[in-house]
Amino acid sequence: MRHVSYTVSFILLLVGATLTAHAQESPLTVEGATTITADVAKTLYDKGVPFIDVRTDDLFATSHIPGAIHLELFNAFDETSLVNAASKDKEVIIYCAGPGCKRSSKACIKAVSWGYKKVYYFRGGFPEWRAAGLPTDPP
């Protein structure tokens, strides 16, 4: 009987951990924004579309996409700062630290609410960019 109790407890623990991990992932899409992959991000990068990095100061300082504008979500990302980085009628790419980071989805929601029409949600963010072997600063 004790063995069954331990087994059930273990299974419940695994299910809870799985649900918690899944609940912490960023959404797959953001209404009003276009979700993109590293390949599309690179194409837009080559066109000169501005990249907005909403990660923490320390992550940005460690490494980022070259030319990215750092607007840390909780301290620097506001409508005025975003307008200074990219006008509302232009394309803009917003990224953070990958699917486990909700900062870029939150920033995209805000950008859309401020009237941006060409928002790209780079859900895979910096980890996907780096994994694709694309340039980083510093390398």
- The predicted-structure confidence for 59-111, as pLDDT tens digits, reads as follows 999 999 999 999 999 999 999 999 999 999 999 999 999 999 999 999 999 99
Q: Can you give the CATH number for the domain in which 89 is found?
A: 3.40.250.10
Q: Which residues, 6+ apart, have CB-to-CB distance to 128 below 8 Å?
A: 37, 38, 98, 122
Tens digits of residue pLDDT in 2-47? 554 444 344 333 344 433 344 589 999 999 999 999 999 999 999 9
Task: Tell me how many domains the chain contains.
Answer: 1
What are the start-end ranges of the E strands in 48-115? 51-53, 69-70, 92-95
Inside any domain, residue 12? no
* SS3 call for 64: strand
